[in-house]
Amino acid sequence: MAILPIRLLGTPILRQQTVPVQSVDAEVQKLIDDMIETMHNAEGIGLAAPQVGRSECLFVVGISELLEDMAEDLQTKLPDQPMVFINPEITWESEAEEEFEEGCLSIPDIRESVLRPESIQITYRDRNMQKHSRTADGILARVIQHEYDHLEGVLFTDHISAFRRTILKRKLAEIARGNTRANYPVQPV
Ligand code: NI
How confident is the model at residue 64, as a pLDDT? 74
Span from the CA of 174 to the centroid of ligand 1 (angstroms): 17
Span from the CA of 105 to the centroid of ligand 1 (angstroms): 6
User: Model-level pTM?
Assistant: 0.93
Q: What is the mean pLDDT of residues 102-118?
A: 96
Span from the CA of 49 to the centroid of ligand 1 (angstroms): 10
Span from the CA of 80 to the centroid of ligand 1 (angstroms): 20
| One-letter amino acid of 60 | V
Q: What is the mean pLDDT of the chain?
A: 92
Catalytically active residues, by annotation: 147
Judged on CB neighbours under 10 Å (0-12, 13-18, 19+), 86 is buried
In the chain, domain spans? 6-177
Neighbours of ion ligand 1 (CB under 5 A): 104
How confident is the model at residue 121, as a pLDDT? 98
Residue 61 pLDDT > 70? yes
Type and span of the H or E element at 34: helix 26-41
Residue 117 pLDDT > 80? yes
Residue 78 pLDDT > 90? no
Reported as a single tens digit per residue, the pLDDT across 126-136 is: 999 999 999 99
Type and span of the H or E element at 31: helix 26-41
Span from the CA of 50 to the centroid of ligand 1 (angstroms): 10
Taken in order 146, 139, 6, 156, the sign of the CA dihedral is: positive
How confident is the model at residue 1, as a pLDDT? 87
pLDDT-wise least confident of 24-33, 65-74, 89-98, 139-148: 65-74
Name the band, by pLDDT with cuts 50, 70 and 90, for residue 67. low
Reported as a single tens digit per residue, the pLDDT across 9-46 is: 999 999 999 999 999 999 999 999 999 999 999 999 99
CATH number of 6-177: 3.90.45.10
Residue 116 pLDDT > 60? yes
Integer angstrom CA distances of residue 152 from 19, 38, 156, 166, 186 = 10, 21, 12, 23, 21
How confident is the model at residue 180, as a pLDDT? 87
